[in-house]
Amino acid sequence: MTDKITDLFGIDVFNDSTMKERLPKKIYEALRKTIEKGEELDSNVAEIVANAMKDWAIGRGATHYTHWFHPMTGVTAEKHDSFIHFTEDGEVIMEFSGKELIKGEPDASSFPSGGLRATFEARGYTAWDCTSPAFLREDAAGVTLYIPTAFCSYTGESLDMKTPLLRSMEALSNQAVRVLRLFGNEDVKKVNVTVGPEQEYFLIDKNKYLQRDDLIFTGRTLFGSMPPKGQEMDDHYFGNIKERVASFMKELNIELWKLGVTAKTQHNETAPAQHELAPIFSTANIATDHNQLVMETMKKIANRHNLACLLHEKPFEGVNGSGKHNNWSLVTDTGVNLFNPTKKPHENIQFLLFFAAVLKAVDLHADILRLSAANPGNDHRLGGHEAPPAIISVFIGTQIEDILAQLVKNGHATSCQEGERLNIGVHTLPWLKKDAADRNRTSPFAFTGNKFEFRMVASSMSIAFANTVMNTAVADVLSDMADSLEGVKDFDMAVAELLKDTIIKHQKIIYSGNGYSDLWVEEAEKRGLPNLKSMVEAVPAAITDKAIDLFGKHNVFSEVELHSRSEILYSSYSKTINIEAKTMISMTNLKYIPSVIKYTSMLADSINSVKKALPGADISVQTELLSKASSLLKDSKVAVYNLEEILSKACSKCTECEKANYYKDKVFPAMDKLRVPIDELEKIVSKEFWPVPTYGDLLFEI
Ligand code: ADP
Ligand code: MG
């Protein structure tokens, strides 16, 4: 089995070893230079690579290729073309040119552009991203060659998630190299961002899923009350994996391994029916592409097992929702993890400076980081008592905390706390070395040994934007640090001062207490940390002068691109809530109300027939139920009228910002009001009359 898996891994990827095997040595080396050093790609090289790629793909049964890109819809897009060409003699040949590899021309007008389209042409281009390997995918349409690409408008504005990410990786590398030079690292040419995203998801029975319009149209349940058992027994987290789920996981792993995705860890999560998959980390853009593949493959494989995979952040009210933990670090092209504290972190000034740079970056740009985790689904989680609060703070652990305290007090640190030996009290068990710091699950941003873990990211979202923000914010701080250190006479003195000064100014972002507590909200306010409770409140962070300067300086987003993105965010919020509201209205009118009417008629019939059969019999139970159900029925009708009315007033001529605020402040509360009587009815209406599967059916019966 192990041998087979090693044979299987990456079998569908045009990866380094395949390229080495199939490309002339010179061409292979030229391509590696582009991939590793970011050198420009020669068109002759592209021509030969395209041909080799085509031969490889056709040899594996491919008939089509597609430029695969990440428009701002959150999901990936693809348009398939066959390799078929006709010769002058009218013969059919399979061909793929360098031009076709490098450039595609999908019509950009059907993808979100946030106003860019009004000013610019509808034409769009996709450009080959050779830093993320091409791969094959097989489905009912046959085998297709997927080529990861960046997507931009006719005038070069980015219309996707990948372009800014690649730009930010370059910016960060440039600035990190500058700082490393100051520490005498002459051999480092490039610094890579490494990312490992942990993906949470729910699996439910497909037949039950298909009976719920809310799940089909919105990805979450808009109604539903908790079953007698929720997650209070904590028996699901790391619990035994059910047979049906296990067979899903097995197939998922194999499928992902074939695509070169390093699926590594899998376990049950906190909520019933909730699970997690974590890959081994890779460079940020490959991790981003792979995370999209993970999400798409999860859905596809679930289907094969008659399951539905829910990636929504909050599919069920009252049970934990899903997130994505974005593990982030920096590693040099010489293989050094810049956030490895080493044995003596207190003496490792380079580590401490990079560490302080992250603290400063997170403190200065907490608002934009918060935005990078914002989507309508995550509004249900952040700040709830399950997910990190909407306030950004950093957990750094006792070991580093102690070192920073020494630095602040004395200007230097002379000691560090070590992980002790853990005494389990049983001699036959091996002795374990304790980590130098405990974990804190309530922190939105935590230093976990040799990487930072951003835990706010939404489960259904691309990780591209979160990493783009991280990279740019850190690049900017490193650039300031390099500016102030380059050319100083006494480097050791200057760096010590800079370190101390940075920590003093930005230590307010450090917090190791319970992030779920109300006290923290008060404390954070005193510290002046932003608390952006909802997505709509977070969007303005994208277009502040601070954000425009930051992203502009490092060529990650132009001002025009930032404005277009904020428009897209607002409008995607409004559209999401609009679909949810309309789904609630239709479910209420077409399912719940008719079912409850049937139920009340049954009760009324029973009252009448019992009375007739046995005059004077006790009919108080039926009567009380009938009266309660009828009154909740009325409440439901009133609430649905109200929601319809409010929805009809959503103005179409307002700005996207005004519209989004209307949906948040008016439509959303009206949806909540409608949910209340329906969820009450679910508790009293006989199950045989209830028109949809309940939480109990969905969460516990697979
Ligand atoms: P934990 O359980 O503490 O979160 P794991 O070792 O399980 O830690 O790692 C979680 C994720 O972090 C995995 O995807 C892993 O590959 C990733 N990871 C580990 N080291 C790094 C690193 N240096 N850079 C980025 N991601 C990393
Ligand atoms: Mg983790």
Write down the domain spans for the chain. 2-160, 168-557, 573-700
Q: What is the dihedral of CA 145, 131, 472, 288, to 10 degrees?
A: 40
- Confidence (pLDDT) at 243: 87
Per-residue pLDDT tens over the stretch 664-694: 999 999 999 999 999 999 999 999 999 999 9
User: Confidence class of residue 230 from pLDDT cuts 50, 70 and 90?
Assistant: confident
Mean local confidence (pLDDT), 4-25: 92
What tens digit of pLDDT does each residue of 82-137 get?
999 998 888 999 999 999 999 998 877 778 888 775 544 567 889 999 999 999 99
CA of 324 to the centre of ligand 2 (A): 9
Compute the average pLDDT of residues 578-606. Answer: 98
Cα–Cα distance measured from residue 253 to residue 241, given in angstroms and rounded to the nearest whole number: 15
CATH number of this structure's domain 2-160:
3.10.20.70
Number of H helices and E strands in the chain, helices first, is 25, 19
Are the folds of 2-160 and 573-700 the same?
Answer: no
Rounded to the nearest integer, the mean pLDDT of the chain is 92
195 lines ligand 1 (CB under 6 A): yes
* 425 has a pLDDT exceeding 70: no
Residues of the chain with pLDDT > 70, as a percent, come to 95
335 C-alpha to ligand 1 centroid (Å): 16
Query: Is pLDDT at 586 greater than 60 in this prediction?
Result: yes
Is residue 421 very low, low, confident or very high in pLDDT (cuts 50, 70, 90)? low
Residue type, 428: T
pLDDT at 438 over 70: no
- Most informative mutation of 172, 261, 327, 441 for ligand 1 (most atoms within 8 A of CB): 327
Distance in angstroms (rounded) separating the CA atoms of residues 556 and 158: 10
Task: Assign domain 168-557 to its CATH architecture.
Answer: 2-Layer Sandwich (3.30)
Predicted pLDDT of residue 257 = 95
pLDDT at 238 over 90: no
What pLDDT digit, counting tens, does each position of 345-365 carry?
999 999 999 999 999 999 999
Which of 338, 451, 474 has most ligand 1 atoms within 8 Å of its beta carbon, as the pocket-test mutant? 451
Among 491, 397, 389, 495, CA closest to 449: 397
What is the per-residue pLDDT for 49? 95
Reported confidence tier of residue 420, pLDDT bands at 50, 70, 90: low
CATH class of 573-700: mainly alpha
Ligand nearest to the CA of 335: 1
Rounded distance between C-alpha atoms, residue 618 and residue 324, angstroms: 56
Is the pLDDT confidence value at 422 over 70?
no
Residue listed under structure tokens 């494989």: 301
Band the pLDDT of 20: cuts 50, 70, 90: very high
CA 557 – CA 555 distance, rounded (Å): 6
Ligand 1 pocket, residue 450 CB under 6 Å: yes
Q: What angle do CA 122, 125, 129 make, to 5 degrees?
A: 155
Task: List, for residues 443-498, the tens digit of each pLDDT value.
Answer: 899 999 999 999 999 999 999 999 999 999 999 999 999 999 999 999 999 999 99
